[in-house]
Structure 1
Amino acid sequence: MTTVIPNPGLGTFRLQGDALKSAVTEALDLGFRHIDTAQFYDNEAEIGELLATADVARADLFLTTKVWHENLVSEKLIASVRESLARLKTDYVDLLLIHWPSPEEAVPMEEYISGLLEARKLGLTRHIGVSNFTTRQLRQAIDIAGPGQILTNQIEVHPYLQNEAVVNFCQQQGIVVTGYMPLAVGKVLEDSTLASIAGKHGTSIPQVVLAWLKHRDIVAIPSSTKRAHLEANLKAFELGLSEEDLSAIRTLDRNERIANPDFAPEWD
């Protein structure tokens, strides 16, 4: 599957201050062009400052942000996107996502998916998508937006939560899967199966995981602040895994979900 979303990207959840500056500066210097943020991360303004002074043209960047669920009603959604753009110091984002479906469906999906379409029509975003949507919610979103309109569903994917049902449904519908928390917030680093595969290839566990995601046609957005780790993330995409490797990783799936707030949908 080919996608307009550069792979890998830089995730910025929980990054602020010097850590964010280091991550963005080093990533751009190494050739990363996909930066992922969100209204909820409270770092759009810092990212805007960093990108405004970076030696990279805006047209060469792929910038994603996400609308927080408190801004899903129609009178708030567009206004909140304009505020995000002001913080990011740009006239548009490349990808605008709904961060979470409305908790307990308090806001009808028709309202906020239509809001995404309106944002795109106004030129505030080039592409639209969703995040943390189940297959049922994706079907509903496709019915509202129309086939081919939703570029991606950004979901948690790592060896312990392989999310097969949602990944397969997205790919059948031509929706790109963007995987967040690919390293399971570091839990994969202690895994003996992944360590064995990494040893066989003379590489690291994070590189094995990112190569596995690439094999599944999933866009990865790992978060890292160190240049060596960012460089290793890029090199991971040159690594080929055998069927034996892939089979071993499949056995690690245990439906272990890390991002599971009390307002999350009823997962697949």
Structure 2
Amino acid sequence: MAGGRPVRRRGHGPLDVFLEQQPSSARSIWVAQLELGGNAPFIVFEDADLDKAVDGAMVAKMRNMGEACTAANRFFVHRSVAEEFGRRLAERMGALVVGPGTREGVDVGPLIDRTGRGKVEELVADAVERGARVLVGGRTPEGPGCFYPPTVLAGVDPASRLMGTEIFGPVAAILTFDDEDEVVSRANDTPWGLVGYVFTEGLDRALRVSERLEVGMVGLNTGLVSNPAAPFGGIKQSGLGREGGRVGLDEFLEYQYLAVPVG
């Protein structure tokens, strides 16, 4: 408490870290604004512009080597275009040069540490054991550093471990779907709800699916949702409150109602 007023706290990080801090925080009143991660679905419908979809996937997946709360994790691609989308994405991701950021010509650098890389290795191995096909990457390079190659997996089993957690690495897991109701249900089948990505040329479908997704933000035909003028945040286990824009400022304000008699 500060001067008898509730303390306001803003936090970014994993859900488990916040849960560990809850007991000590419960001894006083404080207002939390939390961003606790995500498991973003990336949906590509049969009428999508595949060039736009692949461009969006490169941004949504590979920004910061996939170590971002907004990173696309689960790629739901309509069965009729899944093979072509996977081929194009694998070609683009496979062309990226991995190495130290100080080296000329390098596109992407290392993961945060060996623990983070080990998690990615385990998730990919589990998916492959369950029948996923490696279209590109999937093998840890030899030598020093915590590098891991951009990886595309196709035919991923929905029961794979990487479908239920933040990957936090350069791995795109592709699953196929056949209709709108199916993909919305599967996209929402997660405790997280930060962001979703939808690629379609149909405006009606774009708006309809966006409204049905249980997320705080939606990227329509774009892989970049972050904007300092827009409210950033999620629902479900992805956090509380918003930051950015006027809504973000409101999070740090207290409203006072003044009743005045008239007459």
Q: Same fold (TM over 0.5)?
A: no
With normalisation by structure 2, the TM-score equals 0.33
Higher RCO (C-alpha under 8 Å, 6+ residues apart): 2
Which structure: greater helix fraction?
A: 1
> In proportion to residue count, which structure has more strand?
2
The two structures have a TM-score, normalised by structure 1, of: 0.32
Q: Which has the larger radius of gyration?
A: 2
